[in-house]
Amino acid sequence: MSVVDIVKYGDPRLQKVCETVKDFSVLPDIVSNMYDSMYEAEGIGLAANQIGIDLNLFIIDIAHTDETDESAEFVNSKIIGSRGELTFTEGCLSVPGVEFEIKRPEFIILQYQKLDGTMHEKEFGGLYARAIQHEIDHLNGKLIVDHANSLAKLRYKSQLKEIKENASYHYSDLINNNGATRF
């Protein structure tokens, strides 16, 4: 399919809660574009709103790492349980060049649907659990920047300002989205 530009920090499409998927027939084409775009950008996960699609959908592929899970798509996901705690450095394709240490649960139980609409419930750990939590944040309009304390953000002040200024605003109607202002 095709590589789509990744939506960057500062764009209102990354600041809203994504819509629940109801029509599963549109997903294969979207997912195909998401994989192309994620591999091009060398990411291990991508949320639909990172390519401007307002749907509760994300993909993960950590197959190149030590953890051997295959690539997978997650629709209408919800974390229904968690345990442990781990601090880990996270980057984000939508906030290039910026990394923050973020504390999150080490294991999560996820309820989700696959592309065929079937319901699933599964526990994830390690990098997989980390990536899932990062993508679910995206679908809730939250970025790694929103986890960082002011001192950590200060380190990237000029970089964040630059990304924000270059973020493209394609949908002017979304600029006044649900009042979400994230510094």
Q: Look-up: residue for tokens 């929103």?
A: 146
Q: Which residue is nearest to Zn ion (CB)?
A: 92
- What span, in angstroms and rounded, lies between the C-alpha atoms of 89 and 49? 22
Q: Could you say whether residue 92 binds Zn ion (CB under 5 A)?
A: yes
Closest approach of Zn ion to the CB of residue 118, in Å: 26
Provide the minimum distance between the beta carbon of 71 and Zn ion in the complex, in angstroms, as a whole number: 17
Residue closer to Zn ion, measured from CB, 57 or 92: 92
Please count the residues of this chain forming the interface with Zn ion, following the rule CB under 5 A.
Answer: 1
Q: How many CB atoms lie within 10 A of CB 118?
A: 9
Question: In the structure encoding, which two tokens stand for residue 64, read together?
Answer: 């190149």
Among residues 95, 4, 90, which one has the least CA distance to residue 53? 4
53 vs 92 by CB, closer to Zn ion: 92
Please, are residues 133 and 60 in contact by the beta-carbon 8 Å criterion? no
Stretch that binds Zn ion, among 16-24, 31-39, 85-93, 171-179 (CB under 5 A): 85-93
CA distance 129 to 64: 16
**46 sits near Zn ion (criterion: CB under 5 A):** no
- Interaction of residue 27 with Zn ion, rule CB under 5 A: no
Query: Can you give the binding site for Zn ion, defined by CB under 5 A?
Result: 92
